[in-house]
Amino acid sequence: MDVEKERQLLRIRDAETDDLMAEATVFRPGMEPAALRSIDAELRERGVTAADLNQYVGERPNLLIDAHGLPWQCSFCKQPAESEGWGWHWMWGRVPVFPRWFRWCRTHVPESKSREQDGESP
């Protein structure tokens, strides 16, 4: 087994199940076939079913798509982005340095953006 394939298998085994589900579903068109085979095998080994994958996709109807038709990734994790907007880039987590454009998954969306998406006023 070559080093690159071994490294890929280790990354897949160490990955969170949600990240693998994202790669196996919404990011699938941009993935290498060999990597997808390994991801699919790992998900089966973890007990993830086709119904689980369908549910994962069904819970994300508002994915942000790039010019190539692929979903954008969250600015903070490996999940697909569902909203975007301006936010502050923070230095050391304490000092706002400059505004920048972010893309957020449902976990990382700021509270104010979350309220806007739910139809509430900020």
Does 47 have pLDDT greater than 90? yes
- SS3 assignment, position 12: helix
Residue 15's domain comprises 3-58
Question: In this predicted structure, what is the pLDDT of residue 1?
Answer: 56
What rounded mean pLDDT belongs to the chain?
89
- Whether residues 16 and 51 share a domain: the answer is yes
Mind listing the pLDDT tens digit for each residue in 79-115? 999 999 999 999 998 999 999 999 999 999 998 655 4
DSSP assignment of 20-68, as one string? HHHHHTTTGGGS-HHHHHHHHHHHHHTT--HHHHHHHHHT-TT--B-TT
Domain boundary among the residues 58, 78, 100 is at: 58
Domain boundary among the residues 58, 85, 103 is at: 58
What is the average pLDDT across 7-32?
93
Question: In this predicted structure, what is the pLDDT of residue 115?
Answer: 47
Question: In this predicted structure, what is the pLDDT of residue 54?
Answer: 95
- Whether residues 81 and 105 share a domain: the answer is yes
Question: In this predicted structure, what is the pLDDT of residue 121?
Answer: 41
Q: What whole-number distance in Å separates Cα of residue 84 and Cα of residue 93? A: 20
- Whether residues 87 and 116 share a domain: the answer is yes
Q: What angle do CA 111, 21, 78 make, to 5 degrees?
A: 50
- Whether residues 68 and 52 share a domain: the answer is no
pTM equals 0.79
Where do we find the tokens 């969170």?
A: 16
